[in-house]
């Protein structure tokens, strides 16, 4: 590669060289011919010097690149395998932490969605159980001032004089919502337990080797039999499973 200074000098010299060589029919002076030859020799020397410097620069760059390649160490991408015990304890302390540790982030919406659904069902059934329990207590006593059960009836529906018929209905409603409340609590702990089991099993299966050679081979075979102390053979089919 030519340096900027060399290019500038060569451009000036080459700009004046043609002017000294114009007109081949004119009589050339000996001194002028000597000057022209000196100019041409100078241009050649400068060009050779630039080529030498550029070749030296390329050689140095080549040596540097070879040194970098030889001294550089290969980069190894390592994947840390999750520890099942650590995943278990993280999931026990905080639901979803085991899935984060196992890098299974897509399971978090499922787990927390289950918690939200169970919590909503628990609160809803608890409130309905509380209302029907109070209505059942009011319809069972003889105090006309306690009539909260009327709020549980459709608008404009009157059961005056038929309270005895509705007492078992309110009792069934109370028991129904109490059962649903208890089931919601069990479902909440069930989601929690499933999240813990999933984190532990997922960490265990992270080191499980699944071989691609999973095939079934069916081929004919000869089956040997011992009948009455005599050996006999029979043709059959053999099935082998590779895994």
> Would you state the structure tokens that stand for residue 110, as one six-digit string?
């499922």
What's the pLDDT band for 27 if we cut at 50, 70, 90? very low
Evaluate if residue 10 carries a pLDDT over 60: no
> Would you state the structure tokens that stand for residue 162, as one six-digit string?
């038929």
Smallest CA-to-CA distance from 149 within 174, 124, 117, 125 is with 174
- For residue 21, the Cα-to-chain-centroid distance in whole angstroms is 75
* Mean pLDDT value of segment 129-146: 84
Model confidence, pTM: 0.54
pLDDT, mean over the chain: 74
Q: What local confidence, expressed as pLDDT, does residue 206 receive? A: 82
Compute the C-alpha angle 18/21/22, nearest 5°.
Answer: 85
Smallest CA-to-CA distance from 84 within 198, 203, 195, 193 is with 203
Residue 216 φ then ψ, to 5°: -120, 130
Alpha carbon distance 91, 58 (integer Å): 60
Q: What local confidence, expressed as pLDDT, does residue 157 receive? A: 80
Alpha carbon distance 2, 47 (integer Å): 8
> Would you state the structure tokens that stand for residue 62, as one six-digit string?
């080549």
Stronger pLDDT, 151 or 48, i.e. the higher one: 151
Evaluate if residue 41 carries a pLDDT over 90: no
* Mean pLDDT value of segment 87-99: 94
Judged by DSSP in three states, 153 sits in: coil
| Site of tokens 């404009």 | 156
Residue 242 φ then ψ, to 5°: -100, 130
Q: Are 32 and 69 contacting, i.e. CB atoms less than 8 angstroms apart?
A: no
What residues does 138 pair with on adjacent strands? none
* Mean pLDDT value of segment 224-236: 64
């Amino acid at each position: 590669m030519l340096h900027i200074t060399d290019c500038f000098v060569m451009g000036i010299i080459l700009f004046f060289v043609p002017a000294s060589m114009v007109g081949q029919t004119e009589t050339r002076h000996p001194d002028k011919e000597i000057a022209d030859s000196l100019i041409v020799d100078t241009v050649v020397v400068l060009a050779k010097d630039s080529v030498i410097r550029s070749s030296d620069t390329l050689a140095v760059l080549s040596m540097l690149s070879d040194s970098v390649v030889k001294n550089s160490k290969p980069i190894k991408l390592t994947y840390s395998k999750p520890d099942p015990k650590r995943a278990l304890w993280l999931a026990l302390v905080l639901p979803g932490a085991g899935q984060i540790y196992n890098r299974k982030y897509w399971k978090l919406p499922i787990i927390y969605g289950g918690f939200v659904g169970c919590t909503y069902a628990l609160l809803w059934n608890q409130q309905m159980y509380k209302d029907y329990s109070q209505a059942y207590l009011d319809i069972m006593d003889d105090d006309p001032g306690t009539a909260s059960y009327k709020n549980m009836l459709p608008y404009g529906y009157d059961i005056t004089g038929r309270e005895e018929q509705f007492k078992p209905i309110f009792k069934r409603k109370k028991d129904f919502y109490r059962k649903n409340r208890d089931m919601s609590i069990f479902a909440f702990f069930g989601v929690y337990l499933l999240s813990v089991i999933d984190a532990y099993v997922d960490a265990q299966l992270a080191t499980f080797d699944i071989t691609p050679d999973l095939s079934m081979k069916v081929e004919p075979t000869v089956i040997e039999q011992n009948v009455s102390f005599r050996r006999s053979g029979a043709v059959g089919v053999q099935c082998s499973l590779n895994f």
